[in-house]
Structure 1
Amino acid sequence: MNRKKMMATLLTIAVSAGYTFAQTAAAVLPGFTAYADPLEENVTIDEAKGIINWTDNTNAVNFYFHAVKTGPLKIALMAKSTAPNKIKVSINGTEKIISIPNNSDYEKIPALQTSIKQPGFYCISLKGVEKTGNSYAEIQSVTLEGAAAQQIQFNPKPWRRAASVHLNYPVPEGKNAEWFYGEIKVPAGEDKTGTYFMSCGFHRGYFGMQVNSPTERRIIFSVWDAGGEPEERSKVKYEDQVVMLAKGDSVIASGFGGEGTGGHSHWVYNWQAGATYRFLMHSVPTGNTTTYTAYFYVPEHQEWKLIASFRAPKDGKYMGHLYSFLENFSFENGHIGRKGYFGNHWIKTDTGEWIALTKAKFTNDATARAKDRIDYGGGVENGWFYLWNSGFKPANAQYGDLFERPAAGTHPEIVLPRF
């Protein structure tokens, strides 16, 4: 019997006897995909080198993945150090202290083995234990091997933000949205730094509120230029540029670039989680331009405040593609969950008719569509639409899902200040 026939016979015998051959599976989580908890301090997550400058053990360095298969899982680190150090590796209730030897080149260091008993999200956590040099370790990547490593999902890119999620509000055919009204409520604890809760978006711009830092929050309104220049506003022809016509007291306005170009305005305002905030957009088409004006209702003053008014060229129509979104714009905390409620959206047409927007289509961004991040969702709760992202928990909505909230029944009363 030749070798090929012998192997075929052995395979037939094994299969008929109920034996299976183990498949070797491996996945590599790049170091630049890690997150530091509670803050990215005394450690650097570098796009080229991974984890470096890890000088303090107050932070844990965490890697996240989603397991589809169950079974054994071996974990190893590609690491190096300028001096012998020790770190603790933990996952799924199993932990082990490992030594990082003094080595100028990255070395594959076995860490621990665990058993994945059910599909889901898992976290590999690294914690400094003993340091004799300046840094605990430089970690290029984490390697996963074993049956549970098959088909795992993780973000392979240095883009560490969560997926952005949107609510798209259909407008009845033949109706022109001259006014667009909406409300936002952010639950306590969901107002994470690096989050934009956007209430009133349309085909040329967006209007909402943002957490810029632990000490600063903003109301933001922006309108895009015409022409499609992606980065530098200096390259946009004057006739394609948005022009600011007016802005409110203490509002800062300027041009912007880097995500398309256009006119930007913001008001530094310490909005609070748990409160409900109201947003109002107005559009006035004239010839081939449209003037877009944003108003924010200030609860403390019980009146509407002008944020800004921009004239957009090459437009000449009322607001279209009405939507809200939730965005995480900071890399450092792209692993932390956030949630916002969006509700009571209305339009007032150019004929004076108020129409409630009670339906919304759920969509998401390229990060979600590429399946780099799969922790996001939305729906309806207590009469409000809601959106959430991050936190490494299972998605509860998919692209194209349709939501419907109950109608409030009464349109908002708007009394704007006289200029």
Structure 2
Amino acid sequence: MKQNVLFATLLAICFTANHAMAQIPPAVLPGFTAYADPTEENVEISSRSGVVNWTGNSNTVNFYFHAASTGPLKVTMQAKSDAASKISVTVNGAEKIVSIPNSTDYTNIPVLQTNIKKPGFYCVSLKGLEKTGHVYADVKSITLNGAAVKNIQFNAKPWRRAASVHLNYPVPEGKNVEWFYGEIKVPEGEDQLGTYFMSCGFHRGYFGMQVNSPTERRVIFSVWDAGGEPDERSNVKYEDQVVMLAKGDSVYASGFGGEGTGGHSHWVYNWKAGQTYRFLMHSVPRGTTTTYTAYFYVPEHQEWKLIASFRAPKDGKYMGHLYSFLENFSFENGHIGRKGYFGNHWIKTNTGEWIELTKAKFTNDATAKAKDRIDYGGGAENGWFYLWNSGFKPANAQYGDMFERPTTGKHPEIVLPPF
């Protein structure tokens, strides 16, 4: 009798466990969210088709996710190939060599099962081993099943950039910001391609430095047009357009669109990681317009360089909503971590008073708010504020957190060249 009761109890436990697992829906990681390492070469991550044209085996194709729960994890792949091939699949230390059949339709291919023992970020990594045709595999998606899928987080959108993060600097009430000064230092190895380290942002524009390609870096300054601008600047009324008044030697200037519209300027300059760079903004309101002028200190010349000066319509006030940000603007390396230090920010009022900005409020963008990406953060250390994003490591800051750095008590000495 006791044996029957024990058997019935075990049967009930198994039934309950299987029923609970059945209630956890599978997680489908789309192919268009993958990243290729070390570079996206000999493989294409298509926003429509996923992993395609995978012809080389010098890189891996990786799918990232965050497991909030522990337990079994079953991995299945939806893939096809133009001829028989083999790839290896690795996750959580488990590896399996998988044969991809020759097919014109995606096939559901069982891969492996592993056991997630602790919450954290994980990666399903694919590597080409053998192929008899043109490609190793076209991969539509990776499907995850099991108890470890409960409350799983992953990016389900083709937007593969990291979350943008910001530092917002409170200004004492009643103070008019005529001048806005700030500094940036990017640690060596954190100057990844497709990154914008922005020092001096305000309600109409932004001023900082970018890594644009392996051979080009820029100092960039832009001011938005007035009103609710369309994406095409040609559709913006002339009276709403920002007007360029001046630009420095070798500075490129034009209008821009696609993300709002406005006036854009940049200077190609090979700034270096590990060095500190200085940025200075000036605002002059007049009637219903404000002229915004950006200066960059060139350490090799020990001189401030004019980047550009724009007149913004429908404004007529000094700078407000002061902030810095860190942005990843390339899709291909949205998985690689980057970090920047932002510090020694000061304002000078229209009455000549210098005020040091030692507090900053942490905010982030829609990608973070939607929890598409949860690897980002910021704080204060070694006398600087810092921001970081990507790298698939746990966030160390939340929206609205306040940071504070120590005061230096010494405002910058600014000597602009005569014009």
State whether residues 198 and 206 of structure 1, in contact with CA within 8 Å, keep that contact through their aligned partners in structure 2. yes
CA distance in 1, matches of 2:43, 2:53: 5
State whether residues 222 and 265 of structure 1, in contact with CA within 8 Å, keep that contact through their aligned partners in structure 2. yes
State whether residues 360 and 403 of structure 1, in contact with CA within 8 Å, keep that contact through their aligned partners in structure 2. yes
Residue type matched to 1:109 in 2? I
**Structure 2 counterpart of 1:336:** 336
Residue type matched to 1:336 in 2? I
**Structure 2 counterpart of 1:287:** 287
**Structure 2 counterpart of 1:4:** none
CA distance in 1, matches of 2:79, 2:275: 47
CA distance in 1, matches of 2:160, 2:220: 23
**Structure 1 counterpart of 2:62:** 62
**Structure 1 counterpart of 2:94:** 94
Structure-2 change in CA distance of 1:147 and 1:207 (3 Å): same
Residue type matched to 1:280 in 2? L
Question: Which 4+ runs in 1 deviate beyond 4 A?
Answer: 13-19
| TM-score, normalised by the number of residues in structure 1 | 0.96
Give yes or no for the alignment of 1:383 onto 2:383.
yes
State whether residues 289 and 316 of structure 1, in contact with CA within 8 Å, keep that contact through their aligned partners in structure 2. yes
CA distance in 1, matches of 2:66, 2:409: 43
**Structure 2 counterpart of 1:304:** 304
Q: Alignment partner of 2:368: what SS?
A: helix
CA distance in 1, matches of 2:218, 2:51: 32
Residue type matched to 2:376 in 1? Y
- Aligned-residue RMSD, C-alpha: 1.3
State whether residues 178 and 348 of structure 1, in contact with CA within 8 Å, keep that contact through their aligned partners in structure 2. yes
Residue type matched to 2:17 in 1? F
**Structure 2 counterpart of 1:261:** 261
Alignment of 1:8-157 (within 5 A): 20-22=16-18, 23-24=21-22, 25=24, 26-157=26-157
**Structure 2 counterpart of 1:6:** none
**Structure 2 counterpart of 1:3:** none
Alpha-carbon offset, residue 81 of structure 1:
0.8
Structure-2 change in CA distance of 1:72 and 1:18 (3 Å): closer
Structure-2 change in CA distance of 1:14 and 1:205 (3 Å): farther
Alpha-carbon offset, residue 21 of structure 1:
2.5
Percent identity reads 81
Deviations 1:123-147 (A, max 9, x none): 1100000010000001100000111
CA distance in 1, matches of 2:160, 2:245: 37
State whether residues 163 and 327 of structure 1, in contact with CA within 8 Å, keep that contact through their aligned partners in structure 2. yes
Q: Alignment partner of 2:105: what SS?
A: strand
**Structure 2 counterpart of 1:416:** 416
Q: Alignment partner of 1:374: what SS?
A: coil
Deviations 1:352-373 (A, max 9, x none): 0000000000000000000000
State whether residues 230 and 236 of structure 2, in contact with CA within 8 Å, keep that contact through their aligned partners in structure 1. no
**Structure 1 counterpart of 2:407:** 407
Residue type matched to 1:120 in 2? G
Deviations 1:77-135 (A, max 9, x none): 10011111000000111111010011111110011111100000001100000010000
Deviations 1:40-90 (A, max 9, x none): 000000111110000000010000000011001010110011111000000
* Greater mean alpha carbon deviation, residues 371-380 or residues 17-26: 17-26
CA distance in 1, matches of 2:338, 2:9: 51
Alignment of 1:155-174 (within 5 A): 155-174=155-174
Alpha-carbon offset, residue 228 of structure 1:
1.4
State whether residues 227 and 236 of structure 1, in contact with CA within 8 Å, keep that contact through their aligned partners in structure 2. no
CA distance in 2, matches of 1:211, 1:82: 38
Alpha-carbon offset, residue 150 of structure 1:
1.6
CA distance in 2, matches of 1:138, 1:240: 48
CA distance in 1, matches of 2:413, 2:128: 58
Which structure 2 segments of 5+ residues have no match? none
The total of aligned residue pairs comes to 408
